[in-house]
Amino acid sequence: MRRISLTRVFSFSAAHRLNSDALSHEENKQIFDKCNNYYGHGHDYSVEVTVQGTPDSETGMLIPLPQLDTAVTEFLTTLEHKHLDLEAPYFKDKISTGENIVRYLWNELDKRLPAGKLFHIRLWETNNNYFDIGKDA
């Protein structure tokens, strides 16, 4: 029987700045370009969370939607309208690139969902770029 997955779309708005303390001012400017702006900038992030498995034979669903929504929303609330670098401890020593944010989302959501259900996460940073983790990415 073919496998089926369910994806829900969430969103949050946040500020951040791409800057590495290990790099010189000039290197930071060159590598991160306008994303290195001293006072930060921001995005409306969109998050597609995919769970996979065998639908429950009685309900026909992979996971009760309120359970999925609650788990994801409770976590995303900690980032909503925040400055990622200054307010999310994970980014104290990591640059808040999309690559690192999507890994952070994976780590946190995987803990909050039933074991083995989380299958893929896509993080849209703007309408023109996104980051994937899971599956074969």
Return residues touching its own copies (CB under 8 A): 2-9, 11, 13-16, 18, 20, 22-23, 31-35, 37, 39-44, 50, 52, 55, 58-62, 64-66, 80-83, 86-87, 94-100, 102-103, 106, 119, 126-137
CB of 122 to its own copies, least distance (A): 9
Q: Which residue out of 35, 43, 48, 108 is catalytically annotated?
A: 35
Amino acid sitting at position 61: M
* Residue 125 is among the residues annotated as catalytic for this protein: yes
81 is catalytic: yes
The Cα-based distances of 41 to 10, 16, 34, 38, 106 in angstroms read 21, 6, 9, 9, 24
| Per annotation, catalytic residue among 74, 80, 81, 99 | 81
| Cβ neighbours of residue 61 closer than 8 Å, sequence gap 6 or more | 6, 55
